[in-house]
């Protein structure tokens, strides 16, 4: 009797239930692509609608925010709670004032309906149907003598008074002697504003929520009575 060994399985024969190697590799590749696409979609949603990192490259907000620091821009809360006096906002520069496409960062000083005026180096805000109130600004950079640096006109005409139209905001940098702001290009359209800066996350020794100032002598009811509340006017224009 002659012994016949069992047949050797062909190399391409797979164990029962096991997929061929090329099919497994294709499945892994598809999973990686799906993960990358989902990650990209989530990033774009967060970046465009929720929050966005921003590197400060200007000196106009010193000493509150310094060049080289990184802040997080809140994009979602302004859709429900409009920009307020004292907010630090990042916006695209008005036409003709761009600096290589770098967004500006400034502080909101005047709301729609306000009249902003400069007198003896100080800022006054007149709300609708109200009287001018001096704005107390402890965050403004100090002069060489130690006192608060004066807020002076910055344009060639020496303009000292502006009326803030509906849908716009009057902004200035905290570094008043070295800030190209609404004193130069006038109030900024809300459409140009990217969002409000609310968190400094670098450098680590200055990490934290950016403080929001409080101002005495102002009333939110003034805008409602005048029919020029930013919340009412701009909620209809939001995308």
77 is known as an active-site residue: no
Question: Which of the residues 75, 106, 182, 229 is marked catalytic?
Answer: 106
Q: Which two tokens stand for residue 231?
A: 């919340």
106 is known as an active-site residue: yes
Which residues in 149-184 are b (16+ Cβ under 10 Å) and which e?
bebeebeeeeeeebbbeebbbbbbbbbbeebbbbbe
Spatial CB neighbours of 174, under 8 Å, sequence gap ≥ 6 = 60, 61, 62, 63, 64, 65, 107, 137, 139, 140, 141
Answer whether 204's CB lies under 8 Å from 74's CB: no
Estimate to the nearest angstrom the gap between the alpha carbon of 74 and the chain centroid.
6
Spatial CB neighbours of 82, under 8 Å, sequence gap ≥ 6 = 230, 231, 234, 235
CA dist 127 and 233 (Å) reads 16
Find the DSSP H helices in 64-137.
none
Q: Which of 131, 130, 140 is nearest to 109 (CA)?
A: 140
Question: Which of the residues 60, 179, 228, 229 is marked catalytic?
Answer: 60
Answer whether 62's CB lies under 8 Å from 166's CB: no
Task: Cite the active site residues.
Answer: 60, 106
């Amino acid at each position: 009797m002659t012994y016949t060994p069992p047949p050797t399985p062909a190399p391409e024969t797979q164990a029962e239930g096991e997929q061929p190697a090329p099919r497994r590799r294709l499945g892994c590749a598809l999973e990686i692509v799906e993960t990358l696409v989902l990650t990209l979609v989530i990033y774009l949603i967060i970046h465009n609608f929720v929050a966005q990192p921003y590197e400060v490259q200007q000196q106009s907000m010193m000493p509150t925010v310094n060049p080289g620091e990184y802040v997080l821009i809140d994009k979602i809360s302004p859709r429900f709670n409009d920009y307020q006096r004292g907010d630090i906002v990042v916006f695209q520069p008005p036409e003709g004032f761009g600096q290589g496409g770098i967004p500006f960062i400034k502080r909101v000083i005047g709301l729609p309906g306000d009249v902003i005026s400069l007198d003896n180096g100080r800022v006054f805000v007149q709300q609708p149907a109200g009287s001018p109130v001096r704005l107390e600004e402890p965050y403004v950079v100090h002069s060489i003598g130690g006192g608060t640096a004066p807020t002076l006109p910055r344009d060639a005409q020496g303009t000292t008074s502006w009326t803030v139209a509906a849908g716009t905001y009057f902004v200035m940098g905290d570094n008043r002697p070295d800030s190209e702001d609404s004193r130069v290009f006038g109030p900024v359209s809300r459409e140009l504003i990217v969002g409000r800066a609310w968190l400094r996350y670098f450098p680590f020794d200055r990490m934290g929520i950016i403080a929001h100032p409080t101002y005495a002598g102002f009333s939110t009811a003034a805008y409602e009575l005048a029919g020029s509340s930013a919340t009412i006017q701009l909620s209809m224009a939001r995308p």
